[in-house]
């Protein structure tokens, strides 16, 4: 008796790659989004620290100018004495005003973002609309379980058939 290898239709091969591709397409963001979010947060912190450093350097420069002016400008010393010590020149009238309230900066967006240093293709495959789905631990775990189950299903159901080996041909060759 000759062994007949059952050739499965191309639809089984296509179905295997379709299911495996869908599983991988959903699984990859589940594992790649947390490091991308962490890098985005680090980049945001770095930008804030750079801005703060620039502000402090500007303040240092202003303090050096003020120090130099205090050493050399008698008019500035007179104005500081009036403002800080309450000194009044004879015949001068003092007008007291209220300080304007300080408006706190707007709350920063807590939505995860991709760092500006990432290439454009990463921004394309990681749309901002899906950021909250893959950033949520519960939904990310659920999507990972579903996608891995889909890959396992594709392998168990279609991989053997796609390779040209079916359960029937394995049974026929073992009985021969």
Task: Break the chain into its structural domains and give their ranges.
Answer: 10-86+111-175
pLDDT of residue 58: 96
pLDDT of residue 173: 47
pLDDT of residue 162: 46
- Report pLDDT digits (tens) over 13-45: 888 889 889 999 888 888 888 888 888 888 889
pLDDT of residue 114: 63
Contact 172, 3 (CB under 8 A): yes
- Report pLDDT digits (tens) over 47-79: 999 999 999 999 999 999 988 988 888 888 888
**What share of the chain in percent tops pLDDT 70?**
71
CA distance 112 to 38: 9
pLDDT of residue 174: 46
Handedness of CA 131, 135, 140, 144 (dihedral sign): positive
For the chain, percent helix, then strand, then coil, each to nearest 5? 70, 0, 30
pLDDT of residue 6: 60
Three-state DSSP class for 175? Answer: helix
Give yes or no for residue 137 having a pLDDT over 70: yes
pLDDT of residue 118: 66
Contact 134, 30 (CB under 8 A): yes
Handedness of CA 162, 163, 164, 165 (dihedral sign): negative
CA distance 89 to 78: 10
Three-state DSSP class for 138? Answer: helix
CA distance 88 to 99: 21
């Amino acid at each position: 008796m000759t062994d007949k290898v059952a050739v499965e239709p191309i639809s089984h091969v296509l179905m295997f790659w379709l299911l495996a591709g869908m599983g991988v397409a959903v699984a990859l963001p589940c594992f790649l989004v947390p490091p991308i979010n962490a890098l985005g947060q680090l980049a945001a912190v770095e930008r804030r620290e750079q801005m703060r450093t620039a502000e402090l350097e500007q303040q240092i420069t202003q303090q050096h100018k003020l120090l130099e002016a205090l050493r050399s400008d008698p008019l500035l010393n007179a104005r500081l004495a009036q403002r800080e010590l309450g000194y009044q020149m004879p015949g001068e009238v003092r007008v007291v005003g209220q300080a304007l309230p300080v408006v706190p900066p707007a709350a920063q967006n807590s939505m995860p973002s991709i760092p500006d240093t990432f290439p454009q293709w990463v921004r394309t495959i990681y749309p901002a609309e899906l950021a909250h789905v893959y950033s949520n631990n519960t939904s990310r775990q659920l999507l990972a379980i579903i996608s891995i189950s889909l890959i396992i299903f594709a392998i168990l159901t279609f991989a053997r058939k796609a390779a040209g080996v079916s359960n029937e041909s394995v049974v026929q060759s073992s009985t021969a």
